[in-house]
């Protein structure tokens, strides 16, 4: 197996797509009625849905089990409620996490007057049967020019860094990059890169808004913002079964 640096870009227009009226979705991996035999996950990363939820609409109560579910809100806001008594509103630029563990029912609604756009990210946990939990956090919104802020992590070395916790040795970074800046981002395992706004250059390739990219065997990634950009990077291990 090759250990040479590798990048594969998946353009927005080539992603899976669904339009339910109240929800428009693009699927980076197989999900719901969209199935691509070669796109069933990336290591422990199983789902990335690029969703637009119409104002006043949302996901009714539904169950999950043994999954780490992360929501990165890009525009608008989403309101969470579950059968364990957790509830909260997560706005643009902020993140919520839910460990489904032994089982949880929850709803996600857009109670705003505008459409809400978000990434929904599912990561397989490294522990099954944990107690369900939910948490959300606000993060700084200013553009960066050195390194992306750490948003989510289950790593021991990140315990004191203010990240939202998940049950996996994975980390999610995200934020806005100043035009012309080069951000150097370390990768522990392998990374999936999302560009939600603007355009960046990575490993000699241009990635534009809506695109995703798989990156392997590259311990330090240089992200150059061609224009002001918003980026999310998900660093995950291989999935062990």
| Closest to 169 measured CA to CA, from 156, 159, 160 | 156
Q: Is residue 166 within 8 Å of 154, Cβ to Cβ?
A: yes
pLDDT for 217 beyond 70: yes
What is the per-residue pLDDT across 22-60, written as a single tens digit (0 to 9) for each? 999 999 999 999 999 999 999 999 999 999 999 999 999
Per cent of the chain over pLDDT 70 is 99
157 phi/psi in degrees, rounded to 5:
-70, -10
CATH of the domain at 19: 2.60.120.10
- Mean pLDDT for 189-194 is 98
CB atoms within 10 A of CB 85: 7
Tell whether the model's pLDDT for residue 154 goes beyond 70. Answer: yes
On the question of pLDDT at 167 being above 90, the answer is yes
* Structural domain total, the chain: 1
- Domain range for 66 is 6-236
Contact call for residues 109 and 52 (beta carbons, < 8 A): no
The contacts of residue 241 (CB under 8 Å, 6+ apart) are none
Phi, psi of 40 (to 5 degrees): -115, 10
Whether 1 maps to a domain, the answer reads no
241 part of a folded domain: no
The verdict on residue 64 lying in a domain is yes
Confidence class for position 241, pLDDT limits 50, 70, 90:
low
Predicted model pTM: 0.96
Look-up: residue for tokens 């990634």?
221
Residue 143 lies in a domain: yes
pLDDT over 70 at 1, yes or no? no
**pLDDT, averaged across the chain:** 95
**Minimum mean pLDDT among 173-177, 225-229, 237-241: which range?**
237-241
Residue 132 lies in a domain: yes
For 82-126, write each residue's pLDDT tens digit: 998 999 999 999 999 999 999 999 999 999 999 999 999 999 999
Side-chain half-sphere exposure of 149, counting CA atoms within 13 A: 20
Beta strand pairing call for 23-27 and 104-109: unpaired
* Dihedral (Cα; 23, 24, 28, 33), 10-degree rounding: 70
């Amino acid at each position: 197996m090759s250990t040479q640096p590798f990048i594969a870009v998946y353009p927005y227009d080539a992603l899976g797509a669904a339009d339910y009226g109240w929800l428009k979705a693009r699927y980076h991996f197989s999900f719901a009625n969209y199935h691509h035999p070669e796109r069933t996950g990336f290591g422990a990363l199983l789902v990335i849905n690029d969703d637009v939820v119409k104002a006043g609409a949302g996901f009714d109560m539904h169950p999950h089990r043994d999954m780490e579910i992360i929501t990165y809100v890009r525009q608008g806001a989403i309101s969470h409620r579950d059968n364990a008594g957790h509830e909260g509103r997560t706005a643009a630029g902020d993140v919520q996490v839910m460990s489904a563990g032994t089982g949880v029912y929850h709803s996600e609604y857009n109670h705003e007057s505008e459409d809400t756009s978000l990434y929904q990210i599912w990561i397989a946990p490294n522990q099954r049967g944990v107690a369900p939990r939910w948490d959300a956090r606000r993060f700084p919104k200013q553009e960066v020019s050195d390194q992306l802020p750490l948003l989510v992590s289950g790593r021991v070395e990140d315990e004191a860094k203010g990240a939202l916790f998940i049950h996996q040795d994975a980390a999610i970074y995200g934020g806005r990059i100043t035009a012309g800046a080069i951000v150097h981002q370390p990768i522990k395992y392998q990374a999936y890169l999302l560009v939600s706004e603007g355009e960046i250059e990575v490993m000699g390739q241009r990635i534009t808004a809506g695109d995703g990219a798989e990156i392997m065997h590259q311990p330090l990634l240089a992200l150059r913002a061609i224009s002001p950009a918003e980026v999310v990077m998900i660093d995950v291990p291989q999935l062990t079964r």
